[in-house]
Structure 1
Amino acid sequence: MGCDGGSIPKRDELVKQKQKQAKVDQNILNRVHWFSCALSKKALVTPVVACGLGKLYNRDAILEFLLDRTAYGDGDQICKHIKSLKDVVTLQLEPNPSFSESHSPSLTNHDQEPVARYVCPITMKEMNGKHRFVYLDTCGCVLSEQAMKEIPSKSCIKCTQPFESYNVVVLNPKPEELEVMEAALGEKQARILAEKKEKKKAKASKKELAQLNSADPSMLDSTSSSKRKLDEATESPKHSNKRQHVAVAENPLLVQQRAATLSSTQSLTAAVAAKVAEQMAANASRQKSSAIQSLYNKSGRASKENFMNR
């Protein structure tokens, strides 16, 4: 700055400025995301699978990762949400008729425009990152977003399998869309877990019912009869009488039978009462003293001869 040849420092040499974020070529990103596996970084080869966040993988790479989670250095960061093969969907991709192995994409040659291996079966647009693509996690069919908008339907355009709006997953979403997809993936996993719990409960109830049906029929009959007797014993008289009256009112034949039973019961009661009164009178006559009877003759008059003048 002085006596050194007259060098003059610039402002950016004296003041620390915020470093600008390095810009990445979008073409390179498209080649990495759409032409290579997100885990192994190798070229995508059928069978190709996708996770709930829209990332593309080779199925072989996912199998290696599940067997050994240390097989890839950054595997736990990229596939931390993948616990089993149920967390990925095998994609039904439409091959590109104009693709050949000689046109296979090269990640290092930026001058050559790569030819996509797969296309949309409806619009025939290449799956090269220039167009947005989605897949259905119900059937695994891959379609362009334009085809989904032009042909709105609640069933897959390719295989006619029904789906809902939450079954549509965007492939290689933008960073701002990735956060929303992570939240949606958490809700989906919670919903699947709740459905599994309900299925387990239904299965357990069916198993208990099957065990009861396979038990001894005599034991079931005895159990049911004892339960019925217990219910009849604990039933209040008011309810039992009400139930009898309802049954009689519903059947006229029961009404006639009940009237005949009442009349026969009344006549039998009168006959029994008369017989009891006659027997009581006979017993009263027998209980008279024989000494008093000796004072009277057969005609009922007092005898002249008694124990004093005999």
Structure 2
Amino acid sequence: MPRHLLVTGGAGFIGSNFVHYVVGNTDDTVTVLDKMTYAGNAASLEGLPEDRVQLVVGDIADAELVDDLVSKADAVVHYAAESHNDNSLNDPSPFLQTNIIGTYTLIEAARKHGKRFHHISTDEVYGDLELDDPERFTEQTPYNPSSPYSSTKAGSDLLVRAWVRSFGLQATISNCSNNYGPRQHVEKFIPRQITNLIDGIRPRLYGAGENVRDWIHADDHSSAVLTILDKGQIGETYLIGADGEKNNKEVVELILETMGRDRSDYEHVNDRPGHDLRYAIDSTRLRTELGWEPSFQDFEAGIAATVDWYKNNEAWWRPQKAETEAKYAKTGQ
């Protein structure tokens, strides 16, 4: 039987991908609640059927609005977050308001109305690993956040866990590795390099570029979240990853090669304060208990498809580009 989902942050990168995935793979209907900050883009929802997807512009910290929308939904999928590390270092306050107060507002409404709740989080709550550490993050890894962004996401995770235990909230949590794919804001690492190259600007690499991220295509993240929503055990956390560890230097060189440029045609800039060394996800539990598998296991092909999307959708990203680069220029990055 079709459900009605409330998807917070559904006009952002990962959230909009999930909305597209739900429409393409289920009969569910969706209400998107998005504040439409710089990271939200109504164009990311274009082409979706109006009888199945509704956009409501509003703040997840608006208790009256949230209560009304949650009361009408069968389940809440909570993507909305301030999520850019550089921005959190420049001004932590929006991260506290959205990631902590916004999550509290949502789980209170879900508790009141007895709704299923799934909370989207990040592997950054675990801190980082040494580059030569054979271990990967698991559901038992202690939290050790290192930035205002990751610490507020850790706080939101703990709120959800507490509401499950204290109030019986029907919730699950997922912590995912770095996403890539279409419709990602140009402030982020991969689309910034691609769009810089389209504009004839050399890519910029923090420090030596040795920092490792565990990349997953946004479609695989979406399929995993839907699997957890359908099959996940209430009160449990699942880690989402696709065994895609690459250091930043490798990613930049691959993008350059994919776009017909010399692999060494980039410049180094000052490293970001507190820049985590390595993230790595062990998604064994998700795979063995819930039967999930990633579909995009060829990172090179995924990057090529992502490059093509940005080449073919300049009207989507062009309005963001100048302001983004101006912000980076102020910090020498």
TM range, normalised to the smaller chain?
under 0.3
Larger Rg: 1
Between Structure 1 and Structure 2, the one with more helix by share is 1
Q: Greater RCO between the two (CA within 8 Å, min separation 6)? A: 2
